[in-house]
Amino acid sequence: MRDDHLWPDMSYAAWGDTAQTLHLWTQIVGKTRLKLTPWVNHSWHVTLYVNERGLTTSPIPYGDKSFEVEFDFLGHALRIRCSDGQETGFALIPQTVADFHAQFFERLAAIGVRVTINDVANELPGPALHLSQDRTHSAYDPAAANRFWRALVQTDRVFKQFRSGFLGKVSPVHFFWGSFDLAVTRFSGRKAPLHPGGVPHLPDAVAREAYSHEVSSAGFWPGNAEYPHAVFYSYAYPEPEGFRARIFANAPFDTNFGEFLLPYETIRDAAEPDAALLDFLARSYDAAADLGHWDRAALECAMGEPGIVRPV
């Protein structure tokens, strides 16, 4: 029987306005981490992480101290905590992106953190959207935000299990605020062809650094106005010959996205959602690794088990 609490309804029609606003709010917080954190390969330094209440930046360095910003989707507040003991924040309520932007930087300044960001929203098509001036997006439905977070909690848990079966370079399970998705990426260890760039409102240099090496990447994306469907996805860069010809039940290759797309509802309705999602992750990775001629014997291991040392 489907557990609507563990795998909640993610119908985009029911929360699209909140999703669009929340996407832009997370960009404001994420860009702050970007501005203050030393660059880490593949932009891993800019991401957010799922935690027990919502999404967090983890500690951000600032001079001789650090601070953390958390979206709390249980208490519906933005919380800012500093290593010097100061705490501040404000309620997550319907408010424009511009008002969120102003309030966030006012609260940071109040605890001695003064920072400015590039306020053009990243990875959104169309004309440049300035976060500090956006008074169009203002929706916040607490129940919808909580459902999104609960879907992330389940996805994060399964992705972390999948991640444990790889000895090679592999990303954390992390949330990219530009594309608004939770992702985990495995690397073959080989350099990749130069990425063509062309991502809306994202410097080509960033895209090329992100895809400097061969990857098999998977993630969860809640959809957008143009594609109002929550999906799990998997892709390879560079895409090996024959990759898109692989046939996966319920997860066809979408030529527009360049990815295998598995509807969230398929996992939600599965008798064993964890097993069904792990199967999709494993088989789509198999296609990338086999067709890309990865050194699988050197890169893979059995999935980790709690409290059991990996045998060597």
pLDDT in tens, 230-274: 999 999 999 999 999 998 889 999 999 999 999 999 999 999 999
Residues 121 and 168 in one domain: no
CB 197 within 8 A of CB 231: no
Report if pTM > 0.95: yes
Given 70, 103, 133, which residue is the final one in a domain? Answer: 133
Predicted local confidence at residue 1, as pLDDT: 54
- Same domain for 84 and 194: no
Structure confidence at residue 33 as a pLDDT band (50, 70, 90): very high
Name the domain count of the chain: 2
Boundary-marking domain end, from 78, 101, 133? 133
Is residue 239 a part of any domain in this protein?
Answer: yes
pLDDT at 2 over 70: no
Residue 88 lies in a domain: yes
Both 110 and 173 in one domain: the answer is no
In tens, the pLDDT along 82-141 reads: 999 999 999 999 999 999 999 999 999 999 999 999 999 999 999 999 999 999 999 999
The answer to whether residues 42 and 88 belong to one domain is yes
For residue 2, being part of any structural domain is answered with no
In the prediction, which pLDDT does 5 show?
A: 85
Region 276-290 average pLDDT: 97
Residues 85 and 192 in one domain: no
pLDDT band at 4, cuts 50/70/90? confident
Question: Is 7 part of any domain?
Answer: no
Is residue 3 scored above 80 in pLDDT? no
Pick from 86, 111, 133: which residue ends a domain? 133
Reported as a single tens digit per residue, the pLDDT across 194-226 is 999 999 999 999 999 999 999 999 999 999 999
Same domain, 220 and 196: yes
Domain that holds residue 35: 12-133
Residue range 287-304: mean pLDDT, rounded: 97
Inside any domain, residue 312: no
Give pLDDT tens digits for 153-189.
999 999 999 999 999 999 999 999 999 999 999 999 9
